[in-house]
Amino acid sequence: MDFDNPIDINDDEVSINDDIDDQQQQYYDYEDNDITERATVPAALAAAAARRRQMEEDNEFGAGDEERDYQKGVDSDLDNDNNEEDDDQNINPDYEQLKGLWMSELACPELLPADAETIAQNVEDLAQKEEVIDELLQRSKSQRQSRDAASGEVASLVAQITKMDLDRTRFMLVDLARTRMAKIENHALHNRTLIDRMTEEEVSICCVNVIFYYILGC
């Protein structure tokens, strides 16, 4: 630096001033960055807090769904129990007894004990159902003639349903008798020791088959 030259002095002052300005600008930039960084930290924390609240709400909503689903399941079980109770009240015990006899007789190779009481009760029910069917058909016919077609259709539908029930009962009675007769006829000598399991008619048939067996010498 030449102190005698004023131009050099001015240049040096300008250079120093520029250095000072650069340092101040760097300081301000650092402060701005620091402020920005410090400002972004609360925003991130706020976002995390908001996400956590959302997760807690979702968990509460899910728990509510599970509770509602559980309550629906309990209500459904109660409804099913009530329906089963209603079905139990509508079951005909004589029909169910006959069904059990029929299925057991089909499944067993031996002649099972006869249940004459159950068979007689179901035969009586057949006669009653036939009377009900005739009455319903007559009612349906008269209602249609009196232009009450809706009631006539209902009576006809009930008659058809009753007839289906009657046909099922009749089939089981006939097939049960046929199955027992086949066992008695095909194994008469063996079944002669099972007289206590037969009705009077079945005993007569078994005796006839045993006599034929000895006569023919089979």
**Judging by beta carbons within 10 Å of its beta carbon (0-12, 13-18, 19+), is residue 185 exposed, middle or buried?**
middle
pLDDT at 181: 92
DSSP state of 187: T
Question: Does residue 114 contact residue 198 with C-beta atoms inside 8 Å?
Answer: yes
pLDDT computed for residue 40 by the predictor: 45
Distance, CA of 8 to CA of 175 (rounded, Å): 133
Q: How far apart are CA 207 and CA 130, in angstroms?
A: 35
Residue 39 vs residues 27, 29, 52: alpha-carbon distances, Å: 18, 15, 21
Q: What is the pLDDT of residue 39?
A: 44
Per-residue pLDDT of the chain (218 residues; tens, 9 = 90+): 444 444 444 455 545 555 555 655 555 554 555 444 444 445 656 666 777 777 776 665 444 455 555 555 556 665 665 555 555 556 789 899 999 999 999 999 999 999 999 999 999 999 999 999 999 998 888 887 887 777 778 888 899 999 999 999 999 999 999 999 999 988 888 888 888 999 989 999 889 888 887 787 65
Count the residues in the chain: 218
The backbone region for 59, taken as left when phi is positive above 0, alpha when psi lies in -120 to 50, beta otherwise, is: alpha
For 106, residues 6+ apart whose C-beta sits below 8 A from its C-beta are: 175, 179
Helices (H), 91-115: 93-107
